[in-house]
Amino acid sequence: MLAFVLAFFCLPANAAVQKYQAQFFDVFDTFSQVTVYSSDKEVAQTVTATVYETLLECHQLFDIYNEYEGINNLKTVNDNAGIAPVKVDERLFAMVAYGKEMYYQTNGRMNIAMGSVLKIWHRCRTEGLLSPEKAALPDMDELKQAQRATDIENIILDEENQTIFLADPNMSLDVGALAKGWAVELAADSVQDMGAEGVLLNIGGNVRALGHRGDGSPWRVGVQDPANLSGQESLTVANLSGLSLVTSGDYQRSYTVDGRSYHHIIDPETLMPAEHYRQVTVITEDSGLADALSTALFVMPLEEGLLLLDDFPGVCALWVCKDGTVIRSEGFAEMAGE
Using CB under 6 A, list all residues that contact ligand ADP. Answer: 110-112, 114, 118, 174, 176-177, 180, 204-205, 248, 252-253, 264-266, 268, 291, 294-295, 299
**Which listed residue (199, 271, 291, 309) binds Mg ion by CB under 5 A?**
291
Tell me the sheet residues that pair with 208. Answer: 201, 244
CB of 295 to Mg ion, least distance (A): 4
CB 63 within 8 A of CB 71: no
As a whole number of angstroms, the distance between CA 56 and CA 123 comes to: 25
CB of 80 to ligand ADP, least distance (A): 20
**Region binding Mg ion by CB under 5 A among candidate stretches 96-104, 147-155, 174-182, 328-336:** 174-182
Question: Whose Cβ is closer to Mg ion: residue 37's or residue 298's?
Answer: 298
Question: Whose Cβ is closer to Mg ion: residue 168's or residue 267's?
Answer: 267
CB of 274 to ligand ADP, least distance (A): 7
Give the side-chain half-sphere CA count within 13 A for 48: 29
Indicate which of ligand ADP, Mg ion, none lies near residue 282 (CB less than 5 to 8 Å, by partner kind).
none
Q: 59-65: long-range contacts (C-beta < 8 A, 24 or more apart)?
A: 59/27, 59/28, 59/183, 61/88, 61/89, 61/91, 61/92, 62/92, 62/95, 62/175, 62/179, 62/182, 62/183, 64/115, 64/172, 64/173, 64/174, 64/175
Indicate which of Mg ion, ligand ADP, none lies near residue 138 (CB less than 5 to 8 Å, by partner kind).
none
In the chain, DSSP assigns E strands to: 9-12, 18-27, 30-38, 86-87, 155-158, 163-166, 198-203, 206-211, 219-224, 234-240, 244-249, 254-257, 260-263, 277-284, 316-321, 326-328
CB of 139 to ligand ADP, least distance (A): 18
Asked if 294 is part of the footprint of Mg ion (rule: CB under 5 A), the reply reads yes
Question: Whose Cβ is closer to ligand ADP: residue 36's or residue 77's?
Answer: 77
Indicate which of Mg ion, ligand ADP, none lies near residue 244 (CB less than 5 to 8 Å, by partner kind).
none
Which value, in Å, is the radius of gyration of the alpha carbons in the chain? Answer: 20
Question: Whose Cβ is closer to ligand ADP: residue 265's or residue 283's?
Answer: 265
CB 223 within 8 A of CB 239: no
Question: Whose Cβ is closer to Mg ion: residue 163's or residue 295's?
Answer: 295
As a whole number of angstroms, the distance between CA 223 and CA 209 comes to: 14
Name which of 201, 198, 178 is nearest 188 in CA terms: 201
**Region binding Mg ion by CB under 5 A among candidate stretches 64-72, 83-91, 224-232, 283-291:** 283-291
Number of residues that bind Mg ion (CB under 5 A): 4
Indicate which of ligand ADP, Mg ion, none lies near residue 299 (CB less than 5 to 8 Å, by partner kind).
ligand ADP
As a whole number of angstroms, the distance between CA 248 and CA 206 comes to: 9
**Which listed residue (13, 27, 34, 177) binds Mg ion by CB under 5 A?**
177
Indicate which of ligand ADP, Mg ion, none lies near residue 266 (CB less than 5 to 8 Å, by partner kind).
ligand ADP
CB 126 within 8 A of CB 100: no
Asked if 287 is part of the footprint of Mg ion (rule: CB under 5 A), the reply reads no
CB 150 within 8 A of CB 116: yes
Question: Whose Cβ is closer to Mg ion: residue 150's or residue 294's?
Answer: 294
User: Measuring CA to CA, how many Å separate 74 from each of 40, 95, 115, 156, 326?
Assistant: 38, 11, 11, 14, 37
Question: Whose Cβ is closer to ligand ADP: residue 188's or residue 265's?
Answer: 265
CB of 75 to Mg ion, least distance (A): 20
Residues that bind Mg ion (CB under 5 A): 177, 291, 294-295
